[in-house]
Amino acid sequence: METKTVGQKILYFPLTKIIIGLIVCIGTLVILKLGIEKLLGLFNLEKTTITLLSNTLSIFIVLFSYTTLYQYYEKRSITELSSKNLAKNLSLGIALGVGLQSLTIFVIYLYGGFSIISVNSFIPLIPSLIGFTAVAVFEEIVFRGIIFRITEEKLGSYIAMVISGLLFGFAHLFNPNSSITSALSIAIEAGLLFGAAYIYTRNLWFPIAMHFAWNFTQSNIFGAATSGSIIGKSLFTTKIEGSVLLTGGDFGPEASIQVIVFCVITTVILMKLNHKQNKVIKPYWSK
């Protein structure tokens, strides 16, 4: 067996791999996106068009930087972004994302807190569709592709789910109208769920699709605040009112009690399936 030098041990230490991944992927995106937006600005394009093109290119930048880095760094094929079963992973993710959000809004409706005022055109929602796709790709690459995946290799699936979930929730603490409670809600309902979804397929397209559908349905279909922000345009102009426990208040339905319940149930089901199919990884000290 080849003995690794101290330098190699440091280079391939899990925390090092995570830090390098975050620097490369986030740094590349920030630098190139700023450059792209400045370049597009020279053509006197509308701000909406620039944002649309910038978000579209951002998707490819993040995917390319992640794939290129870890292909050479870890000397392997990037199977977590494989196109195998792509249609199945995307459709299942979208179905779950839409379903969970619809159930959440349905509970608010049952208690008389949700009403539709008008139905609008879908065309103005296209920029948000691209924008939320970019957000889903970026956040899943960072939190599941880098933080969860690498942490799981040493600490096992459950500890990796907790760590990546808490970091995911903490990242939302800087959003408008956020609080410790809303950040913990995001950590529990989405952080754990997306981690379980990744384990289920060992493919990032499943949680990416779920993440996208979750945000888009919440904001651009039902017109609710997403992680504390009001997007503006939605398929339905709606009125959401009532108990903060059910509506999530100014942060949006993601801070509601029912979404936590629905997502925890889904997470438990996925983890039971993961155990049944021997997909759960044990921490290194238990192997």
**What's the confidence (pLDDT) of residue 123?**
92
Per residue in 158-188, pLDDT (tens digit) is 999 999 999 999 999 999 999 999 999 999 9
Instruction: Tell the burial category of 61 from Cβ atoms under 10 Å away from its Cβ (0-12, 13-18, 19+).
Output: buried
pLDDT at 9 over 80: yes
* Structural contact between residues 238 and 117, judged by C-beta atoms closer than 8 angstroms: yes
**What's the confidence (pLDDT) of residue 2?**
61
**pTM, whole model, 2 decimals?**
0.95
Number of helical (H) and strand (E) elements in the chain, helices listed first: 12, 2
**What's the confidence (pLDDT) of residue 231?**
75
